Amino acid sequence: MARTVNTDTDDDMVYAVGLYALGEISEGKAAEIAGVNRWDMRDILTNAGIELRHGPQAVEGARRDAGLTDTDINSDK
């Protein structure tokens, strides 16, 4: 019996894993793109040999994740 393959879902998974591996998106965003929950995404990334990141990797990443711009940061000066 032939297996039915959902290429859209497979493509989304590969895309999400790739973006996460490149540091372009968070674990939560990768899970959203891949159509799985966050815990399953962690397993998928770990099984793929990708090291999980915990928290922003840089100040710019923290600002981006918080939705802040340079104007927001400098507005109280």
**Residue 17 token pair:** 């894993």
Q: To which residue do tokens 């998106």 refer? A: 25
pLDDT score at 15: 96
Domain coordinates in residue numbering, the chain: 1-52
- pLDDT value at residue 74: 60
Per-position pLDDT tens, the chain of length 77: 454 445 677 999 999 999 999 999 999 999 999 999 999 999 999 999 999 987 655 566 667 777 776 666 565 55
pLDDT at 70: 63
Q: Exposure of 34 by Cβ count < 10 A (0-12 exposed, 13-18 middle, 19+ buried)? A: buried
Q: How far apart are CA 9 and CA 23, in angstroms?
A: 21
pLDDT at 3: 47
Q: How far apart are CA 62 and CA 41, in angstroms?
A: 21
Q: What is the pTM of this model?
A: 0.62
